[in-house]
Amino acid sequence: MRETFVEYSYRFNIEEGFKDDKSGAFQLESSLFRDAQALTRLYTVIVVATLFLVSQGVEAVKSGIRQEIDPHWNRHCH
């Protein structure tokens, strides 16, 4: 059963990514991109940037500096 939840969480993340690409932050549905090569280049840049940022985040957590760079830790409840 736990395995099912893990698999579903992967699916959920993928679907959220597609939603973000189509109608969220990147607004690809309403963009003027119609050229497959241009879209391929755009997605390549997005994937490389995502990989870089995730790897930076993983390194920050591994090295124990997350609290120094994550603004979440500096928030105060009022």
pLDDT digits (tens, 9 = 90+) for 57-78: 899 999 998 888 877 766 665 5
Q: What is the pLDDT of residue 21?
A: 63
The total number of residues written for the chain in this structure: 78
Once rounded to an integer, what is the mean pLDDT over residues 1-21?
73
The candidate with the shortest Cα–Cα distance to 60, out of 47, 69, 71, is 69
Q: Tokens 């959220």 appear where? A: 16
pTM: 0.56
Element (H, E) at 24: none
Contact 26, 46 (CB under 8 A): yes
pLDDT at 3 over 70: yes
